Amino acid sequence: MPYLLVALLSLSILPGCQSAYYSAMEQVGVHKREIMVDRVSEATEAQQDAQTQFTSALDALKAIHQFDGGDLEDAYDTINDQYEASSDAADKVRSRIAAIEDVADALFDEWENELSLYTSTNLRRDSEQKLKQTRTSYQRMLSAMHRAEQKMTPVLNTLRDNTLYLKHNLNAAAIGSLQGEFQSLQRDIQRAIQDMETAIAESERFIAQLKRS
């Protein structure tokens, strides 16, 4: 079994192999619905990690603004590390959202195609209604995730600007020049975190809807 799992995981990361991956997973009893739940949960964790990282970056920049002597090279390294970590966190959120969209397409296509297999009108109608409700909940969740994802961009832009400025202006005057950036970054991070909280709440509602259907 460990070898099989390794093979399945390998399929999951190769371009164009997602359909083969889903088929292989179904052969071992793991269906698209379960994969969807797992991927939504992973996206929630990635958003929570991004919230933590953005807050850490804000704290680091605040500490830089309170700089009262010391190694400016260390100050630059700290901000650069925070920018790199924040960029990685944002990339992880984006990849998790893309993974959700992939399995959602496969799940909803399969669900819709199977409606024609029913001989019972009542069961088909009920399944069709559940499909519609689940799709609606999914779209709300996905829209919330993309809104939160977009709010990450100004945060990363400000962190990158600060990093570049310090890189080429390693002096105390440069620290003072960044004061105005801090308030802007603080607002952007608060907005991003707020939208991520909304997306997480929508994720929880979607998983509940998926389980009911």
**CA angle at residue 142 from 9 to 208, to 5 degrees?**
80
Residue 199 makes CB contacts below 8 A (sequence gap 6+) with 47, 141, 144, 145, 147, 148
Quote the pLDDT of residue 64: 75
Query: Cα 70 to chain center, whole Å?
Result: 37
Mean pLDDT by 10 residues, the chain (213 residues): 44 58 89 94 96 92 71 82 96 96 95 96 96 95 96 92 82 67 84 94 93 80
Quote the pLDDT of residue 177: 67
Quote the pLDDT of residue 112: 96
Quote the pLDDT of residue 6: 39
State the DSSP H helix or E strand holding residue 125, giving kind and residue range, or none if neither.
helix 121-168
| pTM across the whole model | 0.85
Whether 15 and 185 have beta carbons less than 8 Å apart is answered as: no
Q: How is the chain split into domains, by residue range?
A: 1-30, 33-212
In the CATH scheme, what is the code of domain 33-212? 1.20.120
Alpha helices in 169-178 (DSSP H): 172-177
C-alpha distances (whole Å) from 72 to each of 28, 102, 141 are 56, 45, 43
CA torsion sign for 197, 199, 201, 207 is: negative
Q: Does residue 93 sit in helix, strand or coil?
A: helix
Quote the pLDDT of residue 110: 95
Whether 99 and 145 have beta carbons less than 8 Å apart is answered as: no
CA distance 57 to 75: 12
